[in-house]
Structures are given as structure tokens and as C-alpha cells.
Homo-oligomer: A and B are copies of this chain.
Amino acid sequence: MKFETKVGKSHPDKIFNHGYDLVEDLIGNITLADMAFLGAKHRKPTERESKMLNAIMVAICEHGFTPSSISTRLTYLGAPEAVQAAVAAGLLGAGTVYLGAMEYVAEMLQDGTNKHGADNSSSEIASLILNEREDKGLQMPGFGHPIHKPVDPRTVKLFQIAQELGFYKQNSEIINEISRQFNERKGKSITLNAIGAIGAILADMDIDPKVMKSFAVAARAVGLVAHIVEEIESGRKNSVGQKLFDYFEENTEYQS
């Protein structure tokens, strides 16, 4: 049997990736994030695409103490010899609840445009999407944040960069219209969060929604480096993992 791939192939003196010579074309010429783009689109990003993607991946790679980074630290506590396991443990919670929304935002916007885009303005499409989800009792992905209220500062920044770089297109317009109308309908400010902004911008960059979560997961892996470093630097006894374990020992009530 033969396995076929565009991803990569090694020869004694050459390595190819998606039609590029790794050594001649890629190493030293592109950024790490561009490799994710290359994987998704089978071509190197333009300079503008590279800037936008790096901005997005920087925005979501690190969130302080989250279920993800705490799991990484706890896993490092038990298996300091296996850093890969600590990173993996930190990625495993990237399910539907947190990072999944990026994909749902992009799909919502693209479905709305496919259904209503021919004859309607962005404002009208936004309204129709909101109506439809209200009718079906569906939540709005990309909205709401426990801390960043009423505005997620990353959202503002990312849309500003998208405008500078030419990626503030129809999906970005619609999500911002949805945001405006959603607040109006609810009579209060509901945060358009960074994940919502990124879902729209990546859609405006023609990234397949199904691929978006893998971008987020890869970015998160980079962010977890800082948590492992901090555990190494603290030393076992003063590590967050150990302190948390001790805290549980002292603060657990057993219910028989």
C-alpha cells in the first residue's frame, strides 16, 4: 500500500513540505504560525496573512490560570520527566466549552451568508441570524465573558489589526452587527469575546471552520510553555501543582 501526502517527505539532502523546500524556502523565511497556515491552505501566507495569524495566535495562546494550564502544572508535578504529557494534559480540555466556539461562530456566519447573503446587507443578515437562533432557542457563540465586561480588549485590537491588514470583511461586519443588535435586543451590553472575533476574522481569511480549533490548540501548546517554566523555576515544593495538591489535602470534606 502507498500512503499519499502533501504534508512532507524527507530525502537525504532535501525535505519538502507542501511543495516547498523546507531548508531553502521555509526555515528562516517564515514564522512558526505560518506553518499552521501552510498546513491549512497548502501555501505560504502572504505577509499580511502572516501578521494577522500571528496576532490571532498570540491573542489566544495564554490566559493565566485556566483549567488547561492548571492540568498542565498538576501533570508536570507527577511526571516532570515527561514534559510532552504535561502539554498534552493542558490541551485535552480544549473541548466544546472553551475553544470550540470559534468554529461555531464561523459556521453561524457562513451559514447565514449562504442562506441570506445574495439579497441582504450585513445588517440584515445579522438580523436574520439573530432571529433564527432566537426562534430555535440557540445560544449565541462568541458572546459573553466572565471577566472582560462590557468589552473584551482583544476583540477591539484584533478587529483594528484586521482593518489595517484588509481582513475586516463580510464575516467581521456581520458579527459586529450581530453584537450591536444583540445588545439592543437585550437592552444590555454582552461582550463580543476574542473567540467570536477570531472566528469571524479567520472566516474572512478563508480558513475552513473545521480547521480553526486546531489553530487554537496549537497556539495553546505554545502558551503552556510558560506554565511549565514557572513550575520548573519554583521548584517542586513551591510549585503551584504541589501547593494545590496540599490545599486539597487540607480542604476536602468527605461525604459518607
Contacts and interface: CB of A to CB of B under 8 A. Distances in A.
A226 B40 CA distance: 6
A81 interface: yes
Interface centre among A78, A161, A230, A247 (most CB of B within 10 A): A78
B85 A84 contact: yes
Nearest to A241: B67
Contact of A33 (B32, B161, B210): B32
Nearest to A54: B31
A61 B17 CA distance: 11
A161 B215 CA distance: 27
When A and B form their complex, which 8 residue pairs have the shortest distance between CB atoms, in order from nearest?
A79-B95, A39-B226, A78-B93, A9-B254, A221-B221, A8-B64, A67-B74, A88-B88
17 contacts: A4-B253, A5-B240, A7-B65, A10-B63, A22-B62, A28-B51, A31-B54, A33-B222, A34-B58, A35-B223, A35-B225, A39-B228, A65-B245, A67-B75, A71-B71, A80-B95, A218-B225
